[in-house]
Structure 1
Amino acid sequence: MRNLLLILGLFTSALCAQTPAPTSSIQAGFAERDITPGIGMEQPGGYGKSYHLKFHDACKVRVALFDDGKKKVALVGLDTLVVPRQVVLDARARIEKELGIPGDGIMIGASHSHSSGPVGMVLPGEYDTASELVKKLAYEESSCADAGFLLRVTNEIVEGVRAASLARVPAQLCFGFGHEDKVAFNRRLRMKNGQSWSHPGPGNADIIEYAGPIDPQVGVIGAWDMQGQLLGVMVNYACHATTNPGGISANWIYYLEKTIQGALGSKAPVVFMQGACGDVTQVDNLSTARRPGPEEWAQLVGGRVGAEALKVLFSSPRGTEAVLDTRQQVLSIPRRKPAPDRVKKSLEIVQAGKPKGDTSGWIFAKEIVMLDHLCQVTPKVDSEVQVIQVGPAAFVSNPAEYFVQFGLDIKKGSPFPFTFPVELTNGIVGYVPTEEAFGPHGGGYETRLTAYSNLEITAGRQMAETGIALTREMKPAPAPVAPKAIFGKPWTYGNVPPELE
């Protein structure tokens, strides 16, 4: 008996030696860190002050890190409204020094959650050299970032990348697109007066049609270890995060995460990178149906986008090779300057004091006065365009609330089979509409001249062309394919002629 067990042991060892363990040329690591703001902090996303009064769910730094043995890249998704340029530069400098990942391999993008922490709109010290009136308008009458919170976000980005780097293991990756066209709508509508308006309202008899498209693709990358355990998921989709489910929240991205994790029975991080959605939200202005409540709306958007991501994860073949590459270019783009007469008139309006009732006129006069100062101190704005390649996929960034047509143009011009435009990344330059939106049939909220949105009208095209050019400097890797079936023999139950009796 003892000899028999010895022989069986030797036989088993020989089989194991002949069947090498699966290997991969790509490693992946995922991590998340908490950046939930406190009750009472400012809630960003408007041109005035608003404060958080309750909590709904946590806001996070979400990190996906890939290592092909030659390069490491980190893609960081933040549950924030925007990400200030200085936060990006500071985080990159620390990551490069402490972890050895070059800055051009680190992409940091905001989800644009309107229910997140105080990262904008006015930055600490931004108007310190302005007149007393302008400083008062900026710091007391505008949405302001919190210096301590910005430092916390910077630290957690670094620690998130560190944790993802430590967690990296050989991985299997899948790539794919889902399709979701029932929860995102272009919010600009063509009107009978020849203009295009933002949110003209359901049932408005003067609406003709949508003024622009949407991008229904749900871009997905899934990562598993070599034993089939889910490591993390990346999702790219174009829709404003403005469902605001009630209190501090990652917005509908929370329900995107819950849908994926719940279906898979996993706590693996879900890294969301916002698509080009400067003119796309969850609001359908052509529908006269009752609009969902905030919680229901967040569930609807996050759940449907998450369900599409799951379809990709379930159906896409996995591969163990993914070459990494990076490109980066910083554009210096001039601001649009308000006319002197408009500045003079705006000064008169703000000096007269904020009116009761409708304050729209006063708010946008305030913005013109603040913009006039910015044009004097920083007449041009650094706008980074970055491309990070992960095998057959390319993430193409811009720092804008970017009109969806530009995202579609980038996808069309890119040689990559999976191209993911990522807005509000590596900085913030406000709304960047198409040139058509500034034409005689354009208009709408996104084209208004403010301290937040003011780049020259060709800015979006410059970013798109730069992004496309950078992708064309790279060589897309082939997407994973399912292994071919090997024919054996027909099914003996079915290889018969019809039996009539």
Structure 2
Amino acid sequence: MNALSLSFKAVTLSCLLFVSAFSFAADVPQVKVGFAERDITPEIGMEQPGGYGKSFHRSFHDPCKTRAAVFDNGKNVVAVVSLDALFIRRVTVDEIRKRVEAKCKIPANSILLHATHSHSSGPMGMILPGEYDHASEFVQELAYEKSSTGDPAYLETVVDQSVEAICEAYNKRNASLCGAGVGIEEQVAFNRRFFMRNGLTFTHPRPGNPDIVKPAGPVDPEVGVIGVWDEQGQLKGCIVNFVCHATTNPGGISANYIYYVEQVIRGVFGKDAVLVFLAGASGDVTQVDNLSKFQRRPSEESARFVGGRVGAEAVKVLLSMPRGNFETIASKTTMLQIPRRKPTPGHIKEAIEIVKAGPAKSNATDWVFAKETVLLDARLEKEPVADVEVQAVQLGPVVLLTDPAEFFCQLGLDIKEGSPFPITFPVSLANGCVGYVPTKEAFDKNGGGYETRLTGYSNLIITAGPQMVDTAVELSKQLTPDKLPQRPAAPVFKNNPWAYGSLAPQLD
């Protein structure tokens, strides 16, 4: 049999399997799915977010995008949206949801908006325009001139392009086959916090540090994947969930390592496949191996290494997963009111003195965190309590459970352990941003690291993490998982082995 005949038979078999899957449960509507993306690349010269000071983009590496997937089972519609952004503030979430609901009728609370936490993306904050207008001129200068701030024109672009992407995905939705699976990638992500000989926990103590005792937290090597195929068996798009900070910074404006995840997937499945990347609980997990005996990879190589390996694992999962119908599409949300921690009057007084004395009179770290204490004190005047949305989005046998934080990895693992679903994606920095949310243990006498310090960005009470975990798990238990799709059963054996393969040996 020649190669052309084999290829024809393979294509025919693939089409038959696809048709069979579509007609397997005629009484249940086939889920309709659409994907779309839009460009949200910032301009050179705009601020590069991340850290507690100002930095500016000077070059371009690859585009930043907003990417959307819309799932519709005939009863419910949900949108899952990923933005190549450091984070997305609540006011931006509300605006996108409001415009989408008005334009294409997707319910606001059925839209999940996630930021990949790319540190090489556009100016979404940390401080929004006008946020500190209520404060003194001294505080306003610290907020607007000495801190990372959002650009109003860029924020409007992000809103416009996200609405367009979501509504295009909605309009493109059609009958699709879906699958889900989980792979393992263990070589690219590491917990960055370590117990030290002095009894404290350090973040990034640096390779070769003889005072390192052991890691202070876990990693999560699972690569969760949802794949969606059209009637011709072409991959329309996929959702990928992985736990690692997007801090590879390949040089210039960039989606970070997510760019290379996309490149690998498109290299196998075609340039039109849309990647919706969802970062998991990676508040204390990065690509930096503080226990390594070797020099760190250069930034570009690091981005390619992390994204390439995660993308390759996603491809393996996509190639292996059975395809079928995602019958249940649903969304549930709960809004928690979580108080912020307050600095003491003495702490505030000392911080003001340090800030006014200037960075030259103290080390840079002390000055930055003193500035942040002053900003937090002003923020507490308006927002002593944070709105914290926890959302559960069910896509068949998979549940996406969100938090609006740089969530520590252990908290994500706790969510997975409590969820009744066969596959659970914890999704951090979704539907808002409340800064770092560590475990309670990170605040005890053996804790530490800058993630535990009070700032205008990170300041929730120390029980916030467990509260979010418990809420996410409770929401997941209000939903009933679909069964994972399975490949069609093998035909019943009819005592007719393959004629070529059952021949006796021939000696002459």
TM-score by length of 2: 0.93
Counterpart Cα distance in 2 of 1:380 and 1:494: 72
Match of 2:4 in 1: none
Name 2:423's counterpart in structure 1: 418
| Structure 2 counterparts to residues 48-447 of structure 1, below 5 A | 48-355=53-360, 358-447=363-452
Structure 2 CA distance for aligned equivalents of residues 298 and 441 of structure 1: 33
Instruction: Give 1:456 deviation, angstroms.
Output: 0.1
Q: 1:20 to 1:251 in 2, by over 3 A?
A: closer
Distance 1:322 1:21, change over 3 A: closer
1:322 Cα deviation from its structure 2 partner = 2.7
Call closer, same or farther: CA 1:495–1:61 in 2, change over 3 Å.
Answer: same
| Aligned amino acid, residue 282 of structure 1 | Q
Structure-2 separation of matches of 1:20 and 1:363: 62
Q: Structure 1's 374 and 33: CA in aligned 2 closer, same or farther, altered over 3 A? A: same
Cα separation, 2, equivalents of 1:208 and 1:362: 29
In the alignment, what sits opposite 1:463?
468
> Cα distance, 1:499 vs. partner?
8.3
**Cα root mean square deviation, aligned:** 1.7
Offset, 1:229:
1.5
CA distance in 2 between counterparts of 1:499 and 1:445 reads 75
Deviation at 1:209, TM superposition (A): 0.8
Letter in 2 for 1:418: I
The answer to whether the Cα contact below 8 Å between 1:230 and 1:266 also exists between their aligned partners in 2 is no
Q: Deviations over 1:394-447 (max 9, x none)?
A: 000000000010110111100111100000000000000000000111111211
CA deviations 1:322-346 (Å, max 9, x no partner) are: 3101110010100010111010001
Letter in 1 for 2:170: S
1:335-383 Cα deviation digits (max 9, x unpaired): 0101110100010011112218941111110000111111122100000
SS of aligned partner of 1:373: helix
Q: In the superposition, relative to structure 1, how do residues 193 and 498 fare at CA in structure 2: closer, same or farther (>3 Å)?
A: farther
- Is the CA contact 2:88–2:115 (under 8 Å) kept in the aligned structure 1? yes
Aligned equivalents of 1:497, 1:385: Cα separation in 2: 65
- The CA distance in 2 between the partners of 1:427 and 1:175, in whole Å, is 27
Aligned to 1:31: 36
Tell me, in whole angstroms, the C-alpha distance in 1 between the residues paired with 2:421 and 2:21.
31
Once the two structures are TM-superposed, the CA of residue 20 in structure 1 deviates from its matched residue by: 9.1
Equivalent residues of 1:392, 1:476 under 8 A apart = yes
TM-score between both structures, scaled by the size of structure 1: 0.94
Alignment-derived partner of residue 45 in structure 1: 50
TM-fit CA distance, 1:110? 0.1
Q: Shift in Å at residue 498 of structure 1? A: 7.8
Q: Which amino acid aligns with 2:497?
A: P
Tell me how far apart the structure 1 counterparts of residues 213 and 268 of structure 2 sit (CA, whole Å). Answer: 41
| Pairs aligned (count) | 484
Task: Note if 1:492 corresponds to 2:499.
Answer: yes
Identity of aligned residues (%): 55
Whole-Å separation in 1 of the counterparts to 2:257 and 2:471: 31
8 Å contact 1:435–1:458 — kept in the other structure? yes
Residues 295-337 of structure 1 deviation map (CA, whole Å, 9 limit, x = unaligned)? 0000000000001100111011000233101110010100010
Q: Is the 8 A contact 1:393 1:417 kept in 2?
A: yes
Counterpart Cα distance in 1 of 2:138 and 2:40: 33
1:478 to 472, 475, 483: 483
Counterparts of 1:492 and 1:20, CA distance in 2: 27
Change (3 A) 1:193 1:20: closer
For 1:67 and 1:35, locate their aligned partners in 2 and report how far apart those are by CA, in whole Å: 26
Deviates more, 1:351-360 or 1:389-398: 351-360
- 8 Å CA contact retained: 1:29, 1:168: yes
- 3-state secondary structure, aligned to 1:28: strand
Distance of aligned partners of 1:69 and 1:290 in 2 relative to their CA distance in 1, 3 Å threshold: same
Counterparts of 1:334 and 1:43, CA distance in 2? 29
The 1:465/1:500 distance shift into structure 2, 3 A limit, reads farther
8 Å CA contact 2:115, 2:429 repeated in 1: yes
Q: Residues of 1 paired with 2:348 and 2:141: CA distance?
A: 17
Alignment of 1:2-17 (within 5 A): none
Specify whether residues 307 and 128 from structure 1 end up closer, same or farther in structure 2 by C-alpha distance, changes over 3 A only.
Answer: same
Q: Residues of 1 paired with 2:301 and 2:326: CA distance? A: 40
Which contiguous aligned blocks of 4+ residues in structure 1 show a shift greater than 3 angstroms? Answer: 19-24, 492-501
CA contact (8 A) 2:234 2:269 kept: no
**Preserved contact between residue 203 and residue 286 of structure 1 (Cα < 8 Å):** yes
Q: Give the stretch that moved more between structures: 24-33 or 392-401.
A: 24-33
Aligned partners of 1:221, 1:256: CA distance in 2, in Å?
14
Q: Give the Cα–Cα distance (whole angstroms) in 2 for the partners of residues 134 and 21 of structure 1.
A: 61
SS at match of 2:289: coil
**2: CA distance, partners of 1:321 / 1:246:** 40
Amino acid at match of 1:129: H
Q: Structure 2 vs 1, CA of residues 50 and 357 (structure 1 numbering), >3 Å: closer, same or farther?
A: farther
Q: Any unmatched runs of 5+ in structure 1?
A: 1-15
CA contact (8 A) 2:326 2:397 kept: no
Given that 2:22 and 2:177 are in contact with CA atoms closer than 8 Å, whether structure 1 keeps it comes out as no
Q: How far apart, CA to CA, are the structure 2 residues paired with 1:341 and 1:358?
A: 20
Pair 22,127 (structure 1): closer, same or farther in 2 beyond 3 Å: same
Give 3-state SS (helix, strand or coil) of 1:336's partner.
coil
